[in-house]
């Protein structure tokens, strides 16, 4: 895409899980790009394939049953899927770090937190154990945990503090790409705000690119420059946050925005997207969203839609809506590319 | 921590009172007259009566029990009817054999069972795993006396490599220890495997992998540290059981351990010896349990926090 240098460029990535009773197409021909220093919000329902994509980037998809079946993941121009396990290990944690979803279970319960941070430091830096432990204490202070608590075990911390420790581990080696998998989902609202503020502050300090996985559109609006909306293993809309929030195009995106309750309006019922997420072992033919889509036409069940660029940097996978939009707005720039 | 240990040791008192009362009651209710057993069939009525009087066997139940407790508190748990030796000395003569047998077989079970379990878990469904699981099932279901006799036939009679009885040389210890360990190996292997399988799926293991850690360190340091906790329980229980004497193994290999001593004592209605033996086993079992609990605290800081 264009000339700007990309830190991450995922091309046609497919990841499958083989389970009893079929194959789950967790991620299907996914394309995604992220520039240096950019923040990407990665939005979708539970089971849409967000975490699997993140694990794919880290090459940590549990195998078996999971397997990356096709595609390329270009990180700083080199395909991660072609790296050896040793090369991958120096990238994991060193260049790409991940913050996991559930802080309650993400820390080793039988190891003090300073050691868990120091382990990361030791793996990617040429330092002594003493220096690594000092760095660990430094990181803890950076995320707002007093140094006296460094020798404590995870069970002695609250959920929010554990998440801070997880963040401290992820940032210990100044990664250039940070993947945060629902970093605030397991936390209550006040702690959420604190953690987000912390991440913003840290990003300012060490200028990391960020992939923020979430199903909270509010967090995306606050944190991200770009948004990818994911449905049933596919990206259905990709745009700048500003464009997506002002001009959502894909029916699923539209449904997501409509289902946000409006405090000013007096509504009896929450507006929801009709139907349920499809069975991942048995996705609908054509566009996987068509059974739930109010705009679906007959051809939707036959042809899987490709991404169409309806304005610079705004891609949508819905022929029905993009055609309608292109006609009404009269902008045809990217359609043919 | 010290307070916790002290309290646990004080808990032994009610346990001992309970155990001694139950054993005393059971022996009192068991048919068979110790006097007849000890003195033999040809004993005169007079001799039997004299024996019963001397040992206080004609007194009411509570008087007998009270006298026993009164003496036991002063450190006297009586003399064996059969050998007339103090019960404490009888047990102390047999105990070293039992401890050695238990230690060796647990050592074998740990040294083999834990690595087997780990490899089975990280190579789940592999050939190694399947073979191990079959062995574990065979080990669990094979009767000890059968395995013992088979080993004697092969290694002592056929190959003439190892002695078939006794327990005084290293060579003599091998067969009984292996026989007794077979089941424990199977149990430890299965326990380690299932515990490992559960732990490697935990989020914190993924966190360690995401740090870029080597797989060997992930398994042996992070996963094993967590997976061992339930294994310690099983090993502790097994060891506690073995300290009570491995009757079958001791009989097959003619080892004069606690198990054989107890069986003989029960057969002969040697009341003081049975009493003393059971009390001793209860203490040993409780102490091993305490040791396991302390080991727990050392392995898992979450448990340590609860020990006050």
Instruction: Return d(Cα A12, Cα A30) in angstroms, integer.
Output: 5
Would you state the structure tokens that stand for residue B41, as one six-digit string? 């069939």
For every residue of B171-226, DSSP letters joined together read HHHHHHHHHHHHHHHHHHHHHHHHHHHHHHTSHHHHHHHHTT--HHHIIIIIIHHH
Closest partner residue to B203 (CB to CB) among A100, A119, A124 is A100
B302 vs A: CB within 8 A: yes
Predicted confidence (pLDDT) per residue in B196-230, tens digit: 999 988 889 999 999 988 888 899 889 998 999 88
| Statement: residue B245 has pLDDT above 50 | yes
**Residue B102 C-alpha, separation from nearest chain A C-alpha, in angstroms:** 30
Cβ contact A8:A195 at 8 Å: no
Classified as helix, coil or strand, A69 is strand
Candidate from B16-30, B215-229, B238-252 with smallest mean pLDDT? B238-252
Q: What is the pLDDT of residue A335?
A: 39
How crowded is residue A120: how many other Cβ atoms within 10 Å of its Cβ?
30
Cβ contact A55:A239 at 8 Å: no
Report CB contact under 8 Å: A169, B300. no
Would you state the structure tokens that stand for residue B57, as one six-digit string? 């066997």
Nearest residue to B278 via CA among B19, B29, B52: B19
Which residues of B are less than 8 Å from A100 in CB distance? Answer: 203, 206-207, 210
Please give the domain boundaries of chain B with CATH numbers for all domains. Answer: 2-73 (no CATH), 92-307 (1.10.3720.10)
Classified as helix, coil or strand, A175 is coil
Q: Which range among A301-310, B149-158, B241-250 has the greatest average pLDDT?
A: B149-158
Instruction: Return d(Cα B20, Cα B24) in angstroms, integer.
Output: 6
Instruction: Return d(Cα B145, Cα B132) in angstroms, integer.
Output: 22
Q: What is the pLDDT of residue A4?
A: 59
Whose structure tokens read 């206080």? B56
Report CB contact under 8 Å: A105, B203. yes
Q: How many residue pairs from chains A and B have C-beta atoms closer than 8 A?
A: 72
Mean pLDDT of B84-97: 88
Report CB contact under 8 Å: B225, A110. yes
What residues are paired with A309 via a beta bridge? A315
Chain B contact probe: residue of A85, A86, A110 with most B CBs at under 10 A = A110
| Phi, psi for residue A96 in degrees, rounded to 5 | -115, 125
User: Considering only residues 203 to 242 of chain B, which have any Cβ-Cβ distance to chain A shorter than 8 Å?
Assistant: 203-204, 206-214, 222, 225-226
Nearest residue to A27 via CA among A50, A60, A4, A2: A50
Report CB contact under 8 Å: A120, B211. yes
Predicted confidence (pLDDT) per residue in B156-206, tens digit: 888 888 887 777 788 888 888 888 899 899 999 999 999 999 998 888 999
Dihedral sign for Cα B191, B192, B197, B199, please: positive
Cβ contact A129:A208 at 8 Å: no
Instruction: Return d(Cα A34, Cα A40) in angstroms, integer.
Output: 7
Predicted confidence (pLDDT) per residue in B64-77, tens digit: 888 888 888 887 88
Cβ contact B279:B19 at 8 Å: yes
Predicted confidence (pLDDT) per residue in B122-138, tens digit: 888 889 999 999 999 99
Average pLDDT, chain B: 87
Q: Is the pTM above the cut of 0.90?
A: no
Q: What is the pLDDT of residue A331?
A: 43
**Helix B87-122 with B170-200: angle, nearest 10 deg:** 40
Which residues of A are less than 8 Å from B203 in CB distance? Answer: 100-102, 105-106
**Least CA distance to B205: which residue of chain A?**
A108
Cβ contact B255:B167 at 8 Å: yes
Q: Across chain A, where does the E strand assignment appear?
A: 6-19, 22-35, 39-43, 66-75, 78-79, 96-99, 177-181, 209-214, 226-231, 234-240, 308-311, 314-316
What residues are paired with B42 via a beta bridge? none
Whose structure tokens read 């992220």? A34
Closest partner residue to A153 (CB to CB) among B207, B222, B301 is B301
Instruction: Return d(Cα B88, Cα B85) in angstroms, integer.
Output: 8
Would you state the structure tokens that stand for residue B98, as one six-digit string? 């039992």
Burial of B41 by CB count in 10 Å (0-12 exposed, 13-18 middle, 19+ buried)?
exposed
Closest partner residue to B204 (CB to CB) among A88, A105, A155 is A105
Instruction: Please name the residues in contact with A75: beta carbons below 8 A apart, sequence gap of 6 or more.
Output: A7, A8, A57, A91, A95, A96, A177
Alpha-carbon separation of residue A317 from A219, B51, B183, B195 (angstroms): 24, 101, 61, 45
Which residues of B are less than 8 Å from A84 in CB distance? Answer: none
Would you state the structure tokens that stand for residue A135, as one six-digit string? 């760095």
| Statement: residue B261 has pLDDT above 70 | yes
Decide if the complex's ipTM is over 0.90: no
pLDDT in tens, chain A (337 residues): 444 578 888 888 888 888 887 888 888 888 888 888 888 988 888 878 888 888 999 998 887 788 888 888 988 888 888 888 888 888 898 889 998 888 888 999 999 999 999 999 998 888 998 999 999 998 888 888 888 898 999 999 988 888 889 988 988 888 889 998 888 777 777 777 877 887 887 777 777 888 999 888 888 888 888 899 988 888 888 988 888 888 888 888 888 888 877 777 777 777 777 777 777 777 888 888 888 888 878 888 887 888 888 888 888 888 887 776 555 444 444 433 3
Nearest residue to A109 via CA among A169, A157, A155: A155
Chain A contact probe: residue of B195, B212, B221 with most A CBs at under 10 A = B212
Burial of B195 by CB count in 10 Å (0-12 exposed, 13-18 middle, 19+ buried)?
buried
Report CB contact under 8 Å: A89, B301. no
Nearest residue to A184 via CA among A170, A199, A173, A172: A199
Report CB contact under 8 Å: B210, A119. no
């Amino acid at each position: 895409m264009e000339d700007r240098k990309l830190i991450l460029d995922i091309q046609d990535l497919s990841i499958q899980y083989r389970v009893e009773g079929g194959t789950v197409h967790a991620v299907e021909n996914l394309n995604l790009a992220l520039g240096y220093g950019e923040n990407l919000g990665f939005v979708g329902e539970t089971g849409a394939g967000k975490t699997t994509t993140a694990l794919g980037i880290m090459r940590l998809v549990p195998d078996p049953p999971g397997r990356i079946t096709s595609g390329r993941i270009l990180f700083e121009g080199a395909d991660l899927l072609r790296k050896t396990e040793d090369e991958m290990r120096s990238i994991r944690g060193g260049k790409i770090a991940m913050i996991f979803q559930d802080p309650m279970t993400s820390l080793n319960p039988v190891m003090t937190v300073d050691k868990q941070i120091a382990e990361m430091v030791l793996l990617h830096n040429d330092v002594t154990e003493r220096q690594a432990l000092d760095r660990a204490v430094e990181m803890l202070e950076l995320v707002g945990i007093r140094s006296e608590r460094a020798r404590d075990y995870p069970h002695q911390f609250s959920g929010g503090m554990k998440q801070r420790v997880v963040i401290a581990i992820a940032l210990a080696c100044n990664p250039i790409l940070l993947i945060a998998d629902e970093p605030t989902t397991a936390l209550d609202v006040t702690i959420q705000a604190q953690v987000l503020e912390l991440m913003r502050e840290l990003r300012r300090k060490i200028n990391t690119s960020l992939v923020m996985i979430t199903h909270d559109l509010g967090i995306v609006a606050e944190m991200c420059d770009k948004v990818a909306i994911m449905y049933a293993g596919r990206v259905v809309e990709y745009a700048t946050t500003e464009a997506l929030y002002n001009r959502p195009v894909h029916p699923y995106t539209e449904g997501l925005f409509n289902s946000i309750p409006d405090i000013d309006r007096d509504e009896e019922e929450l507006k929801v997207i009709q139907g349920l997420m499809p069975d991942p072992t048995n996705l609908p033919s054509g566009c996987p969203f068509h059974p739930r889509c109010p705009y679906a036409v007959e051809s939707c069940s036959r042809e899987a839609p490709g991404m169409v660029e309806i304005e610079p940097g705004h891609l949508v996978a819905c022929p029905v809506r993009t055609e309608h939009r292109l006609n009404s707005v009269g902008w045809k720039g990217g359609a043919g590319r | 921590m010290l307070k916790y240990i002290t309290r646990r040791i004080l808990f032994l008192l009610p346990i001992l009172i309970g155990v001694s009362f139950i054993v005393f009651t059971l022996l009192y209710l068991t048919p068979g007259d110790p006097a007849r057993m000890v003195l033999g069939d040809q004993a005169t009525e007079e001799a039997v009566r004299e024996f019963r009087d001397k040992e206080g066997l004609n007194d009411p139940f509570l008087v007998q029990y009270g006298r026993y407790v009164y003496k036991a508190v002063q450190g006297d748990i009586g003399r064996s009817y059969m050998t007339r030796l103090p019960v404490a000395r009888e047990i102390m003569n047999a105990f070293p054999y039992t401890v050695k047998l238990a230690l060796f077989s647990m050592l074998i079970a740990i040294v083999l069972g834990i690595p087997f379990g780990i490899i089975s878990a990280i190579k789940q469904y592999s050939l190694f795993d399947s073979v191990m699981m079959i062995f574990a099932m065979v080990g669990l279901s094979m009767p000890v006396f059968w395995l013992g006799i088979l080993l004697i036939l092969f290694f002592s009679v056929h190959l003439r490599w190892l002695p078939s009885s006794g327990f005084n040389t290293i060579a003599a210890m091998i067969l009984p220890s292996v026989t007794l360990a077979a089941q424990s190996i199977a149990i430890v292997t299965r326990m380690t495997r299932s515990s490992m399988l559960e732990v490697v799926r935990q989020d914190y293991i993924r966190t360690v992998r995401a740090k870029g850690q080597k797989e060997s360190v992930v398994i042996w340091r992070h996963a094993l540290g967590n997976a061992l906790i339930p294994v310690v329980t099983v090993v502790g229980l097994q060891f506690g059981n073995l300290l009570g004497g491995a009757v079958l193994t001791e009989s097959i290999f003619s080892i004069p351990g606690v198990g054989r001593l107890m069986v003989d004592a029960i057969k002969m209605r040697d009341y003081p010896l049975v009493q003393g033996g059971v009390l001793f086993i209860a203490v040993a079992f409780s102490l091993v349990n305490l040791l396991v609990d302390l080991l727990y605290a050392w392995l898992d800081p979450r448990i340590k926090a609860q020990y006050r």
